[in-house]
Amino acid sequence: MKKINLAATLLLFVGSVSYAQSPKKPMAQLINDEFKFAASQYQVLAKNIPAGKTPQSFDKGKSVNYDIKWWCSGFYSGSLWYIYEQTKNEQVKNEAEAALKVLEPNQTFTGNHDLGFMMYCSFGNGYRITKNPAYKEIIQRSAQSLSTRFRPKIQVIQSWDKNKYWECPVIIDNMMNLEMLNWASDNGGNPKYKEIAVTHANTTIKNHFRPDFSSYHVVDYNPQTGDVLKKATWQGAANCSAWSRGQGWALYGYTMMYRFTKDQNYLKQAKGIANYILNHPNLPADKIPYWDFDAPLIPYAKRDASAGAIIASALLELGQYTDGKEKADFKSAAETMIYSLASDTYRAKAGENGGFLLMHSTGAFPLNSEIDVPLVYADYYYLEALARYKKWYL
């Protein structure tokens, strides 16, 4: 047993040295090359999508596609808009517009809290780039639909409907959907949308976080009194663990809330989460997290490229609201993540991986779901991180 562990340790050490010494492509060139690659690769992906569906993953040699009510349905079109913005490839634009058309019925969907993922990552990017007024109307209608899930007695947006496990569950992922509410209010919509976003963010700070700024995945509330029934996980390693993608959602969410409100409490929260992630002893040298910071069998646990992409994108924005060493540290960590994701370790080869860009994401390890596969939102936040770096740091 000692010989096996020693061999593994030596292998990890050699790998880390090789990583540190490998020459890096200039970031400007890397970003340009990655968007060109994405434009080509997504032509492969587009061929694997049945009519009326949206792509999710590629597993065991088969493409995985879901109905538009699936929470990830907006990431494909959102990725296409990022690619088009950087490449001006008209074929990509046409595919992005067609993908939006498929999603239009979601604007009145009230079945879960994920309208922000579904409709803002998609139509939000579409409107930002084209200023098509029809897209703005759809975003506003989607914000109205999302607002129906606000529970005044609890001061939160309910994530999932009541089921045999939960009474009124709220997940840390829900922070991401507040972006659409903020934007809608700031762009001619009902002011109550932003008020809901702020209220939800404040309640989440109060109940979702531990003193070290790590986050629970799920907080279950009594729908009548607002009392916390339990703090738990669904996709993490344990109720007491720090599920990696959840920490990414939290970091991104509070950084975004500071952007819209300039509330210093949100900036403090975002910095605390960032420092928790970046100083965690289980964060690997390449800064792409294991699927949970407390996962069993580290350093042999599965990675989650999607968590790395989300965290990188969030750190780049957080760097805009900091200065000095903090800004440099956040930028440096994001750079490491981007270089790692762009390497052969994580980025697929042309024509492979079902057309997706990144490999080695983990959806829900405890549920034996989407383990070590490409995931559409990993691509989305990777492309967003590349675009943000180009916009803010080049």
Tokens 């596609």 locate to 65
245 annotated ligand binder: yes
Say if residue 233 carries a ligand binding annotation.
yes
Active site residue 114: yes
Q: How far apart are CA 97 and CA 157, in angstroms?
A: 30
Residue 71 annotated as binding? Answer: no
Question: Three-state SS for 230?
Answer: strand
Among candidate residues 59, 161, 173, 329, the one labeled active-site is 173
> DSSP string of 80-118?
HHHHHHHH--HHHHHHHHHHHHHHGGGGG--SSSTHIII
* Active-site choice (59, 67, 114, 161): 114
**CA–CA separation, 37 vs 83, rounded Å?**
10
Kind and range of the H or E element at 69?
Answer: none
Q: How many Å apart are CA 361 and CA 375, to the nearest integer? A: 6
- Residue 197, judged by CB atoms within 10 A of its CB (0-12, 13-18, 19+), counts as buried
Whether cis (ω within 30° of 0) applies to the bond prior to 299 is: yes
Is 225 annotated as belonging to a binding site? no
User: Does 70 appear as a known binding residue?
Assistant: no
Phi-psi region of 104 (alpha: psi -120 to 50; beta: other; left: phi over 0): alpha
> How far is 2 from 270, CA to CA, in rounded Å?
41
Placement of tokens 């001006």 in the chain? 88
Separation between Cα atoms, residue 125 and residue 127, nearest integer Å: 5
Q: Is 329 a catalytic residue?
A: no
Q: From its phi and psi, is residue 368 left (phi > 0), alpha (psi between -120 and 50) or beta? A: left
Binding-site members are: 114, 173, 233, 245, 249
Binding-site members for substrate are: 114, 173, 233, 245, 249
For the annotated catalytic residues, the residue numbers are 114, 173
